[in-house]
Chains A and B, each alone.
Chain A
Amino acid sequence: EPEVTQTPSHQVTQMGQEVILRCVPISNHLYFYWYRQILGQKVEFLVSFYNNEISEKSEIFDDQFSVERPDGSNFTLKIRSTKLEDSAMYFCASTPLRGGGTEAFFGQGTRLTVV
């Protein structure tokens, strides 16, 4: 069964450092997403990406965040200067269609800890 793959599974970084979270979506999918889940809280939408550009972003997704699909297979989330409050689980997801599909395929998540 195809799956979304995220690396690393855990990342510890110092405050102020840049981090890049990596995702390999399912190969024939067209829509890609990043979500965030602060410990003990609900999953929050960060950004959606289609046709090599951001299609929608939430208010959480400020100038410190960026996304890229550098090579047609990877989909990355960069946080330029991490803050303590960026500590969270980050999920990548992909879907074949914008509004259709009976499942949103999530990766297993990257647990980011900012110290």
Chain B
Amino acid sequence: AQKITQTQPGMFVQEKEAVTLDCTYDTSDQSYGLFWYKQPSSGEMIFLIYQGSYDEQNATEGRYSLNFQKARKSANLVISASQLGDSAMYFCAMREVFVTDSWGKLQFGAGTQVVVTP
């Protein structure tokens, strides 16, 4: 079964607008972490933001914020004031902490391709 689901394969957004990238997850673990990564066309994985399952506040990092709704098992990324340099693939990922056979690996969603237009 899919642990991380990103339902939007691609999105266009205008410069200076905000965009929300959807991510839902599936886990029975009580303790887990949720991550968002940006992958530009050059291929590297750039860490953007982290949310722990016990964190009560939504995480924010500059123009990135994570809309964490634990009961709905969703962890959407919001990018405010989009810039042309935000054009990239965005991946949501989860790390389970106490699942027996999980040694801290990240499980990734399929990604959302974001294109920012002038």
Q: Is the CB of B105 within 8 A of A102?
A: no
Instruction: Please tell me if the beta carbons of A108 and B44 are within 8 angstroms of each other in the complex.
Output: yes
Contacts of A27 in B (CB 8 A): none
Known: A43-B108, A93-B106. A104 touches B97 (CB 8 A): no
In the complex, A33→B103 CA distance in Å? 10
Q: If A100-B97, A102-B33 touch, does A43 touch B45 (CB 8 Å cutoff)?
A: yes
Q: Which of B50, B103, B106 contacts A50 (CB 8 A)?
A: B103
Contact partners of A42 in chain B: CB under 8 A: 91, 108-111
Contacts of A102 in B (CB 8 A): 33, 50, 52
Hey, which bits of chain A sit against chain B, CB under 8 A?
31, 33, 35, 41-45, 48, 50, 55-56, 89, 91, 93, 95, 97-106, 108-109, 111
Shortest A25–chain B CB gap in Å is 13
Where the two chains meet, the residues of B that have a C-beta atom closer than 8 Å to any C-beta of A are 31, 33, 35, 37, 43-45, 47, 50, 52, 91, 93, 95-98, 101-111
Question: What's the minimum C-beta distance from B98 to chain A, rounded to whole angstroms?
Answer: 7
Main secondary structure of the interface of A (DSSP, over half): strand
Contacts of A106 in B (CB 8 A): 37, 44-45, 47
> What chain B residues lie within 8 Å of A111 (beta carbons)?
43
